[in-house]
Amino acid sequence: MRNLLWSATLATSALVALSTHLVRADEELKIGVVAAESGSFVSAGNTIVAAANLATKQINEAGGIKIGGKTYKIKLYIRDNRTDVNVTIAAARELVDDIGVKAIWGTETLDFSVSMAKITAAAKVLQFSGNSSLGAVLDDKSVAPGGWLHYTFQTEPQEWQRSGSTAKGVLTLLTPLMPHPPKHSIVFVGNDATGQYLSSHYVKALEAEGQQVDLVKYPPDTTDFSPLLTRIKGMNPDIVHFWYNGDSTLTAFPQALKLDVAPAYFLFGVDPGIYQERQLKSDKPVALSCVPVCWGAAPNPAVQDYFKKYFELGAAKGPQSSVSLLYYDYFFMYAKALEEVGSLDNPDAVVDAILKMKYQGVVSPVPLTFNPHHQVTFATEVSAVQPGTSDQFKAAVEQPPAAPPPGDPGG
Amino acid sequence: MQIFIQQLVNSLSVASVTILIGIGITLIFGLAGIVNFAHGEFLMVGGMITWFLVNSGVNFFVALAGAMIFVGALGFVAERGLFRFTLDRPMNGFIMSIGLSVILQHLVIRVFNEVQKTIPDPVGKVWLVGGVNIIAMRAIVVGLTAAVVAITYFGISRSRYGMALRASIADPDTAALMGIPVRRYVTGVFVYGSVLAGLGGSLMIALFPITPFTGSVVIIRGFAVSLIGGLGNVGGAVVGGLILGLVDGLSAGYGLPEWTDAYALVVMIVILIVRPQGLLGGTLGPRATG
């Protein structure tokens, strides 16, 4: 009997030891996501969450991340910023101080991301933010070791790059469909901070392509664009470029068609999938672009596969679904950097590893790299829809220019 | 000249939707004494119901009726379940309505998601008249609004119920002593205003896409229209809506376009300073209803 008890005790101890070992084999890598799951930025915010969930699922199902002889599974801590900068700050504070995340993904807008960076930098927590306007603050000083953006990465290309890539794509696709080469472009943009910043670069990019450009701004939240579109019609444009806000563009564009405003249109931030779903149809040539790659006319099998899995997880098909690709690839880049460094506790080395890395992601056929200002570079896809159809698209992916156009300060 | 006429035509249809919102608010705010800040969300819900029904294969005009009934029922529940308890404390009702507006936004996001909703143009025709594009659906919106204005105006000013309603506002206690069910009239006005919000939402989604946050934008204009015209005054709401519509259209066409919203609100401020009771006069707004 005593032997039996002794054997049972040994067996139990062995099981406990084994299970402890197994638990240790699946350690947790805590990653935070701060995004709008409510409030007016919810369309963009939900895509960040959806991309994070998909990347985490794939990394964990592939066995996790091997760091210094241990295997880590990602555990996401998702916080709704309610489209409120104060909630964003509180969420970042909680994730960094209380939960102890090693990295944070988010947010939808520059102001929120900058507020968060001041918290993440102090705690040496990496931050991946898909805001092209971060370029205004990412400079030699801010990204240097000890700088307040040393741990922040801009996962959207610089605005002059995106604008250059887009302008080239739009003119390449629309010109052959028009009776004469376009000379006069009107950029129609929402009058908010993002719209002003983005359009300033796009206007320069169009001018660099030989266009005479007028800028017409509309108040944010406009739903009836007919008075402004009638004004634009009186300016006799060759192309009206609906810039920046996909939702507003989807409101304005059908009104423009009914008022017969221009001989050609460009819809920024409108996915061909949405164009098709809404059965939009124009006798005039129309170009569309997505930030950064469209789900409705995906340019390569990797992107098609990504969106198939993305929507299978229950994410909504919206004008901003493609924004998720500003966040997805960087989970894998971060994981790879951690594996290279071999430690979770050396964020400076992880930053260096990411800066040296060339990573073949989904978002671009060209490997992703970050420049010394922690900004990524890749092209923006533009599609043209065959006039009179809702589902016939031709895509162009023009690589960004090597330098900012004349008059564009870069950043 | 064609561009100018086009601007006038554009303004008329937008003024129509604004008038519908304004009438709903002016009745509920000016006659029932309830400041319902969720009225914009009632409109948004009307648009969402229309979207849902149209996407389920229902004809737009049937969906429009469905949205009116649904939002009317929503108004009934809100009045009986919430606002009835705040009639003697209008400020409580106001704060409650702000809470209700946020709840409705997030309920819609929960049920339908946050993505902008749109329906195909139910009529889909554009008439070119003398170089001016007249969009058929916009013309229908103007016609329906005119009909609603006529029915509401004569209902309040000429019918027996309208007379009883006006008596309830002028002196609720005496009206009650005369056998007029004042509370029921409050409910009736609230439900009628809600039905108009449902109609406004349906017509709005026929012209423009809507989001769960559309209501918070239109409510400001609705209150502006009802105050400009005079609280509780249907004719005033029409005048207020036309003024805002014209100011919007002409300022966007000929002023600084990014200031479009500001022009309309500046006009509202000036009118309220010069004519505090509104252009056509009205009630004093929320007050204790015994």
User: pLDDT value at position B114?
Assistant: 77
Question: Which of chain A's residues have a Cβ under 8 Å away from the Cβ of B55?
Answer: none
Q: How far is CA A30 from CA A94, A105, A114, A351, B165, in A?
A: 13, 12, 21, 17, 63
Tell me the average pLDDT across A94-104: 97
Tell me the average pLDDT across B197-214: 91
pLDDT above 70 for B35:
yes
Report yes or no: B16 at the A interface, CB cutoff 8 Å.
no
pLDDT above 60 for A191:
yes
Could you tell me the two tokens for A229?
Answer: 């579109």
Q: Are B260 and A251 inside 8 Å of each other by CB?
A: no
User: pLDDT value at position B48?
Assistant: 96
Name the residue in chain B with its Cα closest to that of A280: B120
A337 CA to centre of own chain: 20
Query: Max Cα separation, chain A?
Result: 101
User: pLDDT value at position A316?
Assistant: 84
Q: Are B258 and A279 inside 8 Å of each other by CB?
A: no
What is the dihedral sign for C-alpha B245, B41, B70, B29?
negative
Considering only CB atoms, B257 lies closest to which of A231, A258, A318, namely A231
On average, the pLDDT of chain A sits at 90
Q: Are A224 and B208 inside 8 Å of each other by CB?
A: yes
User: pLDDT value at position A210?
Assistant: 95
Amino acid at A217: K
Q: For B60-75, how does the pLDDT look when each residue is reduced to its tens digit (9 = 90+)?
A: 999 999 999 999 999 9
The one-character DSSP state at A69 is T
User: pLDDT value at position B201?
Assistant: 94
Question: Which of chain B's residues have a Cβ under 8 Å away from the Cβ of A216?
Answer: 257
Considering only CB atoms, B6 lies closest to which of A230, A250, A278, namely A230
ipTM reported for the complex surpasses 0.90: no
* Sole residue written with tokens 């739009």: A170
**N-to-C CA span, chain A:** 79
Least confident range from A6-15, A60-69, A73-82, A89-98: namely A6-15
d(CA B20, CA B207): 14
pLDDT above 50 for B268:
yes
Q: For A263-293, how does the pLDDT look when each residue is reduced to its tens digit (9 = 90+)?
A: 999 999 888 998 998 889 999 999 998 878 8
Report yes or no: B135 at the A interface, CB cutoff 8 Å.
yes
Q: For B222-254, how does the pLDDT look when each residue is reduced to its tens digit (9 = 90+)?
A: 888 888 888 878 888 889 889 988 888 888 888
User: pLDDT value at position A10?
Assistant: 58
Q: Which residues pair with A154 in a beta bridge?
A: A129, A375
User: pLDDT value at position A194?
Assistant: 79
User: pLDDT value at position B32?
Assistant: 77
Could you tell me the two tokens for A22?
Answer: 């197994």
Q: Choose the mutation target among B12, B106, B112, B208 for the interface with A, i.e. most A CBs under 10 Å.
A: B208
Confidence band, pLDDT 50/70/90 cuts, at residue B178: confident
User: pLDDT value at position A379?
Assistant: 85
| Most trustworthy range by pLDDT among A23-27, B136-140, B155-159 | B136-140
User: pLDDT value at position A352?
Assistant: 97
d(CA B283, CA A22): 75
pLDDT above 50 for B288:
no
How far off is chain A from B8, nearest CA to CA, in Å?
Answer: 9
Q: How far is CA B265 from CA A124, B39, B221, B222, B251, in A?
A: 47, 19, 9, 12, 12
Greater model confidence, A335 or A11: A335
On average, the pLDDT of chain B sits at 87
Contact B121, B127 (CB under 8 A): no
User: pLDDT value at position B289?
Assistant: 40
The one-character DSSP state at A359 is B
Considering only CB atoms, A247 lies closest to which of B6, B116, B250, namely B116
Contact A266, A242 (CB under 8 A): yes
Confidence band, pLDDT 50/70/90 cuts, at residue B16: confident
Report yes or no: B248 at the A interface, CB cutoff 8 Å.
yes
d(CA A307, CA A315): 10
Tell me the average pLDDT across B21-41: 85
Tell me the average pLDDT across B37-56: 95
Residue window 155-214, chain B: list those with CB within 8 Å of chain A.
Answer: 204, 207-211, 213-214
Contact A264, A174 (CB under 8 A): yes
Least confident range from A22-36, B152-166, B182-196, B215-229: namely A22-36
User: pLDDT value at position A163?
Assistant: 92
Taking CA A252 as the corner, what is the angle to CA A268 and CA B136, rounded to the nearest 5 degrees? 145
User: pLDDT value at position B290?
Assistant: 36
Least confident range from A188-202, A217-231, B21-35, B137-151: namely B21-35
User: pLDDT value at position A328?
Assistant: 96
